[in-house]
Amino acid sequence: MCRVRVQSFWKGLNRESQEFWGVNMVLIDDSNDRIHAFANSKYCDDLVKDIKEGEVYVISNFKVKDYLGDEKYRAVRNKKHIYFTAHTQFKKCTNGGLQIENYAFDLFHLEDIGKLADDNRFLIDMVGKVKNVQELIKIKKNDVEKSLFKFEISNGSSSVPVTFFDEFGQLVEKQFGSLDAKNLYVIISCAKVGRYEGTPPLSNYPATRVFVNPKHYSVAELKMSWTEKKKEPVKPSVEREEVVVEIPRKILTVKKIKNLPANHGEGNVFCEVTVKRISDPKNWFFRKCSGCDLELEHEGGKFKCSRANGCDESGSIAIIFPDHEITKIIDKTVIDLHANCADEAEEDKFPEILNTFLKKKYTINLCINQDNIQKGSTVYDAHEIFLGPEEGDNFDPAGATVLEVADCSIVNDNSTDGNGNQTPQTGNSTNMKTKARKRIEPVAFSTSDNSMPPPLKNIKVEKIGK
């Protein structure tokens, strides 16, 4: 007696006469082993009525036979199969027992399909992701209407074509149509492998079953590997040193700024200006020619140079300096300047520190707006203020002066330390032959000695031109 789950069953028919031969089954036990069972048409009248795929049954009084070896398209790779007899009992299990899995497959790699196509003894199981689904193809053969449903299954590196025929293909096509076509994973069980125009496709057989998105470990592994293959490889980041490229500014004259066309639009431009005055209650000003520094004369609403052919390309405009740019130059904000005027009497007094802007050249990033272009306003807002180029020191070698070195004397110090007399004599410390030397007896130092020391030698240092 065995307790088994029916994974699939199908009727055995004569291909030509369509005579009913019996019922075939794929059974699974609690060890996840599979075996093929066959019930002859003589003993399966009640069996055909009651059997359902996926249900658990108890089978007893059956025979186990060996395959003869010449059978084709066997559903299970097992040397033995179960054979029903007149005494076999096949009943639905009503008592509990060990868990039996819903599915059991003998999966093959897609890359092995070429070898499997040359062996027609067995049907095979394969898992893959569905892609390249085609519309149902309807044809007529010998005045009989037939249909084909084609698609491919892939594991990410290899693909296998699949063709299902007639009613079976229509059922699978209908099932695919009700699901997300981009996320279809299938296990095709007991598929037939053949060759068509050199390509080994999978096709359906009476035992074939298609499990769409089943809860099986092989589908979970395929989804995981498919996701990892889609991920782009992480490129090693290479630290690059940022190089600041200074783009030369385009400097506009005041004349060009005032004559900007109407279609110029709002934006920023650069101009070089020299601060001539700062608007204060005294309202003083001075206009001079940029070419000769003469004061300009006001004639007919325009300023002209009194010198012949004089021309003023720069002109005069009013610029509003922003607080943040003033702070960068004088290191004080408007609030700081206002706070210095503690007394009410000095609150309206013009800050003297702002006079530091006078008579200095600046490059200013001006904000050009519609009032300047269309309405002719000569009051401009400064966006950035840049100081003019600083004057560096003169490093011309020709202009360097010769450094005079004063005369100095170098005194030779002939004094010796207290251990000077303790050194060994040369005559006693070497084997070399030496000439006789005159011995000089040391004389004790006396403060009463009035003898003059020899004069010191003066060494002059020449002047060296640098």
What pLDDT, in 10s, does the model give residues 32-50? 899 999 998 888 877 777 8
Contact 80, 64 (CB under 8 A): yes
Q: Are residues 259 and 383 in the same domain?
A: yes
**Residue 346 confidence (pLDDT):** 59
pLDDT tier at 190, thresholds 50, 70, 90 = very high
Does residue 395 sit within a domain? no
Does residue 394 sit within a domain? no
> How many percent of the chain have pLDDT more than 70?
70
What is d(CA 107, CA 117) in angstroms, rounded to the nearest whole number? Answer: 15
pLDDT tier at 211, thresholds 50, 70, 90 = very high
Q: Are residues 218 and 130 in the same domain?
A: yes
What is d(CA 134, CA 378) in angstroms, rounded to the nearest whole number? Answer: 72
Question: What are the phi and psi torsion angles at 76 (to 5°)?
Answer: -130, 135
Task: Say if residue 336's pLDDT is above 60.
Answer: yes
Contact 160, 128 (CB under 8 A): yes
Instruction: Give bridge partners of residue 164 from the DSSP assignment.
Output: 149
Task: Say if residue 446's pLDDT is above 90.
Answer: no
Give the domain range for residue 321: 254-282+314-387
pTM for the complete prediction? 0.49
What is d(CA 173, CA 205) in angstroms, rounded to the nearest whole number? Answer: 16
Q: Are residues 269 and 345 in the same domain?
A: yes
Q: Are residues 76 and 154 in the same domain?
A: no
Q: Which residue has the tokens 């006396």?
A: 446
- Name the nearest CA neighbour of 158 among 226, 73, 77: 226
pLDDT, greater one: 435 or 115 = 115
Does residue 347 sit within a domain? yes
Residues written for the chain? 466
CA atoms within 13 A on the CB side of 195: 9
- Number of domains into which the chain is organized: 3
What is d(CA 377, CA 268) in angstroms, rounded to the nearest whole number? Answer: 16
Q: Are residues 88 and 114 in the same domain?
A: no
Does residue 219 sit within a domain? yes
pLDDT, greater one: 61 or 230 = 61
Strand 137-141 versus strand 63-66 pairing type: unpaired
What are the C-alpha distances in Å from 461 to residues 405, 411, 464?
A: 8, 13, 9
What pLDDT, in 10s, does the model give residues 141-187? 888 889 999 999 999 888 999 999 999 999 999 999 989 888 899 99
**Residue 251 confidence (pLDDT):** 81
Alpha helices for 244-395 (secondary structure H): 254-258, 323-330, 334-340, 370-373
Question: What are the phi and psi torsion angles at 372 (to 5°)?
Answer: -70, -35
**Residue 400 confidence (pLDDT):** 45
Contact 303, 310 (CB under 8 A): no
What is d(CA 219, CA 296) in angstroms, rounded to the nearest whole number? Answer: 91
pLDDT tier at 248, thresholds 50, 70, 90 = confident
Q: Are residues 276 and 367 in the same domain?
A: yes
- Name the nearest CA neighbour of 160 among 113, 219, 115: 113
DSSP one-letter string for 270-328: EEEEE------TT-----B-TTT-PBPEEETTEEE-SSTT---SS---EEE--HHHHHH
Under DSSP, the state recorded for 309 is T
Contact 410, 459 (CB under 8 A): yes
Average pLDDT value for the chain: 77
Least confident segment among 188-192, 231-235, 242-246, 380-384: 231-235
- Name the nearest CA neighbour of 251 among 266, 267, 268, 271: 271
Q: Are residues 120 and 162 in the same domain?
A: yes
Last residue of a domain, one of 347, 366, 387: 387
Task: Say if residue 370's pLDDT is above 90.
Answer: no
Contact 5, 27 (CB under 8 A): yes
Does residue 426 sit within a domain? no
What is d(CA 350, CA 279) in angstroms, rounded to the nearest whole number? Answer: 9
What is d(CA 208, CA 193) in angstroms, rounded to the nearest whole number? Answer: 11
What pLDDT, in 10s, does the model give residues 63-86? 999 988 788 889 999 899 999 988
Q: Are residues 147 and 258 in the same domain?
A: no
Last residue of a domain, one of 198, 230, 262: 230
Q: Tokens for 164, please give them.
A: 């299902």
CA atoms within 13 A on the CB side of 428: 3
Q: Are residues 262 and 169 in the same domain?
A: no
Does residue 270 sit within a domain? yes
Q: Are residues 52 and 165 in the same domain?
A: no
What is d(CA 234, CA 140) in angstroms, rounded to the nearest whole number? Answer: 53
- Name the nearest CA neighbour of 83 among 58, 61, 104, 52: 61
Q: Which residue has the tokens 């008579």?
A: 359
Q: Are residues 226 and 147 in the same domain?
A: yes
Instruction: Give bridge partners of residue 37 from the DSSP assignment.
Output: 25, 82
Q: Tokens for 198, please give them.
A: 């050199």
Does residue 309 sit within a domain? no
Q: Are residues 11 and 131 in the same domain?
A: no
Does residue 266 sit within a domain? yes
Last residue of a domain, one of 335, 358, 387: 387
**CATH label of the domain that carries residue 214:** 2.40.50.140
DSSP one-letter string for 139-188: EEETTEEEEEEEEEEE-SS-EEEEEEEHHHHHHHHHHHHTS-GGG-EEEE
CA torsion angle 268 269 272 277 (round to 10):
-50
Task: Say if residue 423's pLDDT is above 90.
Answer: no
Strand, coil or helix: what is 113?
Answer: helix
